[in-house]
Amino acid sequence: WESHHGDPRFLFDEDFLARDAAREAQLAERLVLPERLFGTNWFRYFPEHLRPAPACIVGAGEGARSTLHRDPFEWTGTSFCVWGSKLWTFLPPPPGGVAVVDDAVGAYRFAYESLGEDSSLAAGWQADVDLYAIRDTSCPTAKDLPGGSREARAEALAAVAAGLRDWWAERGSGAA
C-alpha cells in the first residue's frame, strides 16, 4: 500500500456501520455523542434517506488529500491521526458569502454516494482544485520524523487511545 504525494492512496468508507461486524458489535448504538457536550444532532430529524452517514472511516497514506470542499449543514467530524501529521486549511467565507468562492473555483454539488443518490440534501459542494498539488521538498515526510519505528508508533497510539478513553469516561460520568 505504497502512498506518496504524486500517487496517494485513500480509503473512505461511510457504510461501515451497516456491515455485519459493526451491527453485531452495536457500534451505531455506542457512537452516541452526549448532547450536553456536542449540542443537538439535527440530522436525527432528517428523513432517514436524507441523513448523512453518522460516521465514516478514512484511511490515507502520505500525500493523500481531499478536494477543496464544503460540508453541508455544518456537519463536523472528529479526526484522529495515527502517525505522521495532518494539515487542515479552513477558508472563511469572504464578503459576499461562499458563492463568491464557489464561482471563483467552479464548485459544484456532489452526489451523496453512500446512499447511491445523485443528489441529496446531505450532499456538499466541492471544486476540483488541489491546494497541495505542489509540495515543498524541504517539508519532511512522516518517515523523516522522530519516533518513526513501528514500535514507537504503536506506543504513541496506545498512549493517545488511553488518554481518549480516560477523557471520555470522565465526561460521560458527569465529572468535571
Is residue 104 within 8 Å of residue 47, measured between CB atoms? no
pLDDT category, 139, cuts 50, 70, 90? low
What is the rounded end-to-end Cα distance, in angstroms, of the chain? 43
Q: What is the pTM of this model?
A: 0.54
Q: What is the pLDDT of residue 119?
A: 54
Is the confidence at residue 175, as pLDDT, over 50? no
Give the model confidence (pLDDT) of 7-43 as tens digits.
888 888 888 888 899 899 998 888 877 888 778 888 8
Q: What is the pLDDT of residue 176?
A: 41
Give the model confidence (pLDDT) of 47-78 as tens digits.
887 777 777 788 888 888 877 777 766 566 66
CA 99 to chain centre: 24
Give the model confidence (pLDDT) of 70-110 as tens digits.
776 656 666 777 777 777 777 777 888 888 888 888 888 77
Which residues have C-beta within 8 Å of that of residue 124, sequence separation ≥ 6? 69, 70, 71, 72, 75, 109, 110
Q: Cell 497514506 identifies what position? A: 61
Q: Which long-range contacts (CB under 8 A, 24 or more apart) does 155-158 make?
A: 156/83, 157/82, 157/83
